[in-house]
Amino acid sequence: MAQILFIIGSLIFGLLGTMHLIYTFFSNKFDPRNIEVKLALENTYPIISNETSMWRSLVGFHVSHSVGAILVALFFIPLSVFYNEVLQNSLWFSLLPTAIGFCYLILAKKYWFKRPLIGISLATLFFLGSSVFYNL
């Protein structure tokens, strides 16, 4: 049961990260509704450097955020499938995805919107359930 819950939680993270990456590159879902705001972001530079715009930085943050969520799945699914004994014998590896989930959960609650909050909540619950089973 622990392995199944662990894989489901990982798959949710991978799906959320993949959808986020697709939305970033192939849609306008993260564009501001006010085009003037986007134009301002494209023509404003952070104090740290004028080598990028705030808009390009924003896109880069979206991509790195997506990659982080995808890496959770790309690391933890094979770990669970091929090296499940590591999860069974390591408090660290069995609890790490729950900790990651809680970090993303705090971000989702504070800065994002309902859909990612729901998905991350589910993934975190699956991770928490798996860690309970792994550590009984």
Q: What percent of the chain has pLDDT over 90?
A: 97
- What is the mean predicted confidence (pLDDT) over 93-105? 95
| The predicted structure's pLDDT at residue 136 | 84
Distances from the Cα of 6 to the Cα of 11, 75, 105, 111, angstroms: 9, 12, 17, 26
At 68-98, the pLDDT tens digits run 999 999 999 999 999 999 999 999 999 999 9
Q: Residue 32 — pLDDT band, cuts 50, 70, 90?
A: very high
| The predicted structure's pLDDT at residue 46 | 95
Domain ranges of the chain: 2-32+68-134
- pLDDT of residue 135 exceeding 90, the answer is no
* pTM of the model as a whole: 0.89
Mean pLDDT of the residues in the chain:
95
| The predicted structure's pLDDT at residue 2 | 93
At 51-73, the pLDDT tens digits run 999 999 999 999 999 999 999 99
In three-state form (DSSP H/G/I as H, E/B as E, the rest C), the secondary structure along 75-105 is HHHHHHHHCHHHHHHCHHHHHHHHHHHHHHH
